[in-house]
Every structure is written in structure tokens, then in C-alpha cells.
Amino acid sequence: MNVELRHLRALVAIDEERTITDAAIALHLSQPALSRTLEQLESRLGVRLVERTTRRLALTGAGQRLSEHARRILGQLDDALSEASGRSGPRPLRLAFAWAALGRHTVPLLRDWRERHPGTPVEVRRLDDPEAALRRGEADVAFLRTRPADGSGLTYTALARERRVAAVPEGHRLTERDAVALADLTGEVVALCTTAATTGTYLWPEGRSPRTVRVPGVDEWLTVIATGEAVGVTAEGTSHHHLHPGVRYLPLTDAAPVTVHLARPAVPTHAATEAFVGLAQEHLRRADTAR
């Protein structure tokens, strides 16, 4: 199809900037030159990649999928050229998570990796959407508490099952208990997060769902709970990664556990990917044996 790297870079820039003007500036091109490059790409593929209106640009479904592949391809190429030129050593393995990595196992796992693979550092990133980062090639592995969508180009391994916990404000009536049940939260306002959420009203029996309030991220979730506006339900890993002086985490006795998945692209973006997956599995097996 005679598609060139400049075509891919043009599509990625348009996806990121959302206007021809800004994308052209980012690529140091004129607007007509960038428009011609996009037209060439669409012509050679025989498919529309960008919907144009008088006010904005938006990628079509085909354009979005190609943009994700293009980000991954361009990232791998840049890494390979940088390493081959001797300007840098091996790229770190990029590990992403939304709310929590592997809970109490995170630090021991990373220390174990550092001892066994001193030449391959791990770069840990908290992202609102780690699954999208994997698809775009911006992360190599990610801890997810929901399974990747079908057709996402990702594979995953179920590592562990975490119990759910309730998060309540310090001084709340429930802090006098050692554990709580879902029924204890029915009369409360429950904070639900719009990113990487593992909680919904489906946890409660029909007709007994609590009132809810939606928040955009983990920091906002912690704040509305600490200030007494709501309570929360989350996976146990949150209690290890997000300690807060105004929030108390309590075991939730009757909610199904959450499965922690280690996801990565079906075609690995880092040579150490499978070694990291194997060590995570080994680490959790050792932890289970030690209990």
C-alpha cells in the first residue's frame, strides 16, 4: 500500500491535536502539506480515517484503530533507533495502573525484579486509562481490575483475587465495627468513580441499591469520602496505595472479590514483558505458600 512513516506520524498528530492547524504546527509542516499527507494515506488505504467538519476533526473507527497501531509502531521504532545509536541503554519496562498496582505485593515484587533484572528498570505510571495506554504503545504491562475488551489486541493473565473493602470517613458510625456488609451501606451515598471503576449498584440486591454520586478520579473519590459526603466500595489494593488520614477501610463481608489481571499487548512492546509476567506469578505463588 506504500504507506510511509510520515503518513502515520500525520495521523497520530491529528489524533492528538484535533485540528489540522495544531497538528501541522506540531509536525513543523504547513497546513496544506499535512492535508495532502492525510489525503494520500486515506487514498492508499481506500478508507476514510478522519471526519472533517467546519469546526473540528474526529477520527473514524478505522482511524482510531490505525492511530493506536501507529503510536505503538512509532514508539518501538524510536526506541530501537535510540538504542542502536548508543544514545541510551535499554528502555525501562513501563508498568501502568489506574488505582492500585498489586496492593501489598507491589513493592516486594518490584524489589525482586530489581534484584533479578538490574539492567531493566521498571517505570511505574498511574494512568486514568491504562488499557488505552497499552493499545497505544504508551505502556508495556498494566494491572487491571476489569478484563480488557474483546478485540482490543491485548492479552491478560489473572493473577489474584482481591476482597472488596468499604471506605468510610473517620468518625463515621461504621468505624466502630471490624467489618461491614453491603446492607450497612444501603442508606448511605456511595461514591462511584468514572475511571477504572470496580463498583456499581449491581453489587446490591434489586430494590436495595444506595444513592450514588459520580466522581472523576481517585483523588476526588477520597475527598468526598474524607469530608463525609459519601462512602465507597473498592478493591483491597486501594487501601494499600491510597492511605488517607480521613478515610478508614473496613473489610466488606458479602461482596464478591475482584480479579487482578496483568494485561499486555498480544505482540509484546518490550522484550522483558513475559519475564515480568512470570515473576509476578511466581511472587504470588510464594506469597500464597507463606500464608
What domains are defined for the chain? Answer: 5-84 (1.10.10.10), 93-161+259-290 (3.40.190.10), 164-256 (3.40.190.10)
Contacts of 86 (CB under 8 A, 6+ apart): none
Whole-number pLDDT of residue 148:
87
How far, in Å, CA of 26 to CA of 157, rounded?
Answer: 38
Whole-number pLDDT of residue 21:
87
Contacts of 286 (CB under 8 A, 6+ apart): none
Split at pLDDT 50, 70, 90, the class of 55 is low
Least confident of 128-132, 170-174, 184-188, 257-261: 128-132
Split at pLDDT 50, 70, 90, the class of 81 is confident
Whole-number pLDDT of residue 54:
63
Whole-number pLDDT of residue 178:
94
Q: What is the pLDDT of residues 58-73, one digit of tens each?
A: 899 999 889 888 888 8
Split at pLDDT 50, 70, 90, the class of 83 is low
DSSP 8-state secondary structure symbol assigned to residue 155: E
Rounded (10°) CA dihedral 46, 47, 50, 51: 120
Centre a 10 Å sphere on the Cβ of residue 94 and count the other Cβ atoms it contains: 22
Q: What is the pLDDT of residues 133-153, one digit of tens each?
A: 898 888 999 999 998 888 788
Global pTM?
Answer: 0.74
Please tell me whether residue 223 adopts helix, strand or coil conformation. helix
Tell me the average pLDDT of the chain.
90
Q: Are 244 and 223 in contact (CB under 8 A)?
A: no
Whole-number pLDDT of residue 229:
96
The packing angle between helices 273-290 and 106-116, to 10°, is 130
Split at pLDDT 50, 70, 90, the class of 74 is confident
H/E stretch holding 35 reads helix 31-45
Contacts of 50 (CB under 8 A, 6+ apart): 11, 14, 38, 42, 57, 58, 59, 60, 63
Split at pLDDT 50, 70, 90, the class of 113 is very high
Does 55 or 128 have the greater pLDDT score?
Answer: 128
